[in-house]
Amino acid sequence: MTETPAPALHYMIGGGIATLAAAAYLIRDAGVAGETIRILDDRPRPGGALDGTGEATWGYLTRGGRMFEPNFVNTLDLLSQIPAPGAPERSVTEDILAFNAEVRAGSKCRLIEAGKKADMVHLGLMAADIVALNRLMLTDERSLGARTIGSCFGRAFFDSNFWIMWSSMFSFQPWHSAVEMRRYLRRFIHLFPGFTRIRGILRTRYNQYDSVIAPLEGWLRGHGVRFDSGTVAAGLRIEATGARRDVTGIELDDGRDIPVTPEDRVFVTLGSMTDGATYGTNSGAPPLTPGPMPSFDLWRDLARQHPGFGTPDAFAGETGKSAWTSFTVTMDRPEFRDHMEEFTGNATGTGGLVTIRDSAWLMSFVLFNQPHFQNQPEGTTVFWGYGLRGDRNGDFVPKPMWQANGDEIIAELCWQLRLSPDQRHWFDGARVLPCRMPFITSQFMPRQRGDRPAVRPEGAGNFALMGQFVEQPLDTVFTVEYSVRSARAAVHALTGTGAPIPVRRSDRDPRALLRAARVLMEV
């Protein structure tokens, strides 16, 4: 009697959205049994940067937020198969679209200056700035190489309303990659008509753990996928047979070893924007020394030993240029929320990001639609903010933002909003949780060709790479779509199932180009 061979096993290293998406594609598109999929995640629970945790007593925490838009075609396609939280009769995609139809967004106060609403209608671009933007969009990536954004524009550009709104929305700095700025301009040019009011963006009903990760995780567990949380992959054994290279083992940091056969498949997320994150409290600033960095440590190990794995230190080598601090505030009192509704003209959850353009820290904050967490008690308000230039001393708090505790961050915010001493008592009892992320914009750092490896490096047999640091032409990093696209490409590379849906080229739509030109020239 012929013995039936054991089914191939599928190992996922990392627990972010790329891993969860790859597991879902294996089940949905490749017909893989979920029981053959094993996720090795160094964190206590999956989700990576799409997080949301805590409770009302001690405070809620979201390290950052991700915006969606209708051209995130792979993400919306993936989530169209996943039941929505609390409403299994519809999908996550349907819930996102329904929520955005229910809560119509459009900012009436995008900028604040000197404690008052600032002009957000005029972009403040000079003719030379518009010429420079056009030149950047038309210059090919090979010619730009590792140039910075700052090298492409004059000083006045960086004082314009356009740059303040652009940089605070996407977290760009002048020392970041001109190539990535070019990709953003081309990828999102169709959103220019709604740019100053943050229109055209899709938001989730709750934080992105509750709205996206939890339902996706539940779907995967329901199909038998195994989650090994707190499991750190410290290294991969890769052996060559002729021109082919195969992973033959996964080395864990506790000394255990997982053998891998050539028939098995290994999906590796390289790097993580939330590696090394540290946390503070009302009375304590986040530690400056980065926390664990397992994703970058693994990538460095692979790049050191094997060709074709890119250059991790091109992205993770200068944390002073890739870090910022965010903060999440949990409040039981309604006065600040009510004040901001009157000040901005937006009902809570309809305005989006508000940036204080004359703040030394370049502070931005957003009052979410409430509740922002599924377990959030009625009457509790959660809002989030960050400082893009937290490396500088504050205007009221005489220290860099990364040295500030939660109470000091709120003191700076109150001063920027010109709140009176009595109004500052609105924050009495508020739980303020700062978070410093040394690699949060590392994917924006200037790069050369080859610094980001291919999804399937040359000779790769049973493994593929995913995440924010693999090369995918045309698409933009710091988006959920980039990670999901990389996952779909990795599954396609190893199984032959459908390739990712191509990037929608609104930069080739004459109508979108004309509308964008009119916005920039303010005609």
pLDDT digits (tens, 9 = 90+) for 271-299: 999 999 999 999 999 998 888 899 999 99
Strand order from edge to edge, sheet including 233-241: 233-241, 244-252, 257-259
Measured CA to CA, the distance from residue 259 to residue 269 in angstroms comes to 19
pLDDT digits 0-9 by tens, 31-56: 999 999 999 999 999 999 999 999 99
Say how far apart CA 242 and CA 112 lie, in whole Å.
62
Superfamily of domain 10-54+67-97+205-277+291-311+445-495: FAD/NAD(P)-binding domain (3.50.50.60)
In this predicted structure, the answer to whether residue 2 has a pLDDT above a threshold of 50 is: no
pLDDT tens profile 130-183:
999 999 999 999 999 999 999 999 999 999 999 999 999 999 999 999 999 999
Q: What is the mean pLDDT of the segment spanning 316-323?
A: 95
Per-residue pLDDT of 364-403, as tens digits, reads 999 999 999 999 999 999 999 999 999 999 999 999 999 9
Rounded Cα distance between 175 and 148, Å, is 5
Residues 451-462 have a mean pLDDT of 98
What average pLDDT does the structure give for the chain? 96
- Token pair, residue 252, equals 């864990």
Residue ranges per structural domain of the chain: 10-54+67-97+205-277+291-311+445-495
| CA 53/CA 263 separation, integer angstroms | 38
Identify whether the C-beta of residue 203 lies closer than 8 Å to the C-beta of residue 101. Answer: no
List of residues 6+ apart from 372 with CB closer than 8 A = 52, 60, 62, 206, 207, 382
Of 185, 181, 183, 177, which Cα lies nearest the Cα of 145? Answer: 177
**What Å distances lie between residue 97 and 81, 86, 91, 204, CA to CA?**
14, 16, 10, 9
4 — pLDDT class (breaks 50, 70, 90): low
Would you say residue 362 has pLDDT above 90? yes
What dihedral angle (degrees, nearest 10) is formed by the CA atoms of 130, 133, 135, 138? -130
**Higher-pLDDT residue of 88, 493:** 493
Checking if the pLDDT of 6 tops 90, the result is no
Region 427-448: what's the mean pLDDT?
98
Q: Is residue 505 classed exposed, middle or buried when 0-12, 13-18 and 19+ CB atoms within 10 A define those classes?
A: middle
Of the candidates 64, 163, 66, the residue with the CA atom closest to the CA atom of residue 385: 64
pTM: 0.97
